[in-house]
């Protein structure tokens, strides 16, 4: 399960709060973007054989792939992108959702992306893409 993102926060709400605190450390969006890019560089390696149409997230301008593993009560996710900033956004989304019970995933809407200022700071295409990632994760949680 090394390809799958292991949660570092106790809950999705804790992850969102921690991301907010991390982003607040920076005075401007250029520094926040650099921080987000660094998060993407720390993602677990994504298996090349999963870089296919079955795992591709539709609605993203960049290539984005997402895979899930059902481990008992919890779903674990892994993902990757061919764009540095989008890889960082994948890392943020995985921090919130990976390793959580289905009910918690479904109870955590994409609104946090707006609340953290991410959607407003991204291009429309990237904003739509990150929302498509969350929708794909929630669809997987619905089964």
Q: In what order do the strands lie in the sheet with 64-71?
A: 64-71, 74-81, 100-101
Are the C-beta atoms of 92 and 2 separated by less than 8 Å?
Answer: no
| Per-residue three-class SS string for 23-59 | HHCCCCHHHHHHHHHHHHHCCCCCCHHHCCCCCECCC
Q: Which of 60, 68, 94, 134 does the annotation list as catalytic? A: 60
Query: What kind and span of H or E run contains 18?
Result: helix 12-24
- Go through the chain and tell me how many residues it has: 143
> Is 49 among the catalytic positions?
no
C-alpha 125/C-alpha 143 separation (Å) is 27
The residues carrying an active-site annotation are: 60
């Amino acid at each position: 399960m090394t390809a799958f993102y292991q949660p570092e926060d106790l809950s999705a709400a804790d992850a969102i709060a921690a991301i907010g605190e991390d982003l607040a450390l920076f005075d401007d969006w250029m520094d926040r973007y650099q921080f987000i890019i660094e998060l993407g560089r720390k993602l677990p390696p994504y298996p090349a054989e999963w870089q296919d149409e079955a795992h591709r997230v539709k609605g993203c301008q960049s290539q984005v792939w997402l895979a899930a593993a059902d481990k008992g009560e919890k779903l674990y996710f892994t993902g990757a992108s061919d764009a540095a900033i989008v890889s960082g956004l994948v890392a943020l989304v995985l921090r919130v959702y990976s390793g959580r019970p289905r009910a918690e995933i479904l109870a955590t809407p994409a609104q946090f992306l707006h609340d953290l200022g991410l959607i407003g700071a991204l291009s429309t295409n990237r904003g739509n893409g990150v929302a498509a990632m969350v929708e794909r994760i929630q669809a997987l949680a619905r089964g």
